[in-house]
Amino acid sequence: MKNELNIAKLLAAFEVVMEKGGETEFGKLHEGIEAATDYDGYNVYLRGNGVELHIGFHNTYDLKYDQEHLKESFLKKIDALVTHKIVDNHH
């Protein structure tokens, strides 16, 4: 059974990394999560903790990881990025 990810949350985390992150060869890096997009913006990439996530057109996604605990750690970082964004916006 495939876990359903919250695409809106993932895209919000992507925005945080792109806004606050430092430049890398891949894209931008913030709080251990690296984010990038392709030239036309149709594909979004997030990676960190041995996990790679590709979000494509029409909110399709592909999540690659070797171990379940790596995925859990990655998703906790995504949650933290989005939570901090919400907190930051209310101050």
- Angle among Cα 1, 49, 41 to the nearest 5 degrees reads 80
Confidence class of residue 87 from pLDDT cuts 50, 70 and 90? low
Instruction: Answer for the pair 46, 10: CB distance below 8 angstroms, yes or no.
Output: yes
Name the residue among 58, 30, 28 with its Cα closest to residue 43: 58
**pLDDT surpassing 80 at residue 86:** no
pLDDT band at 13 (very low <50, low <70, confident <90, very high): very high
Per residue in 17-74, pLDDT (tens digit) is: 999 999 999 999 999 999 999 988 889 999 999 999 999 988 899 999 999 999 999 9
pLDDT for res 91: 47
Label the pairing between strands 61-65 and 44-48. Answer: unpaired
Mean pLDDT confidence for 5-10: 93
- Global confidence as pTM: 0.86
Tokens 């990038």 belong to residue: 36
The number of CA neighbours under 13 Å toward the Cβ of 68 is 2
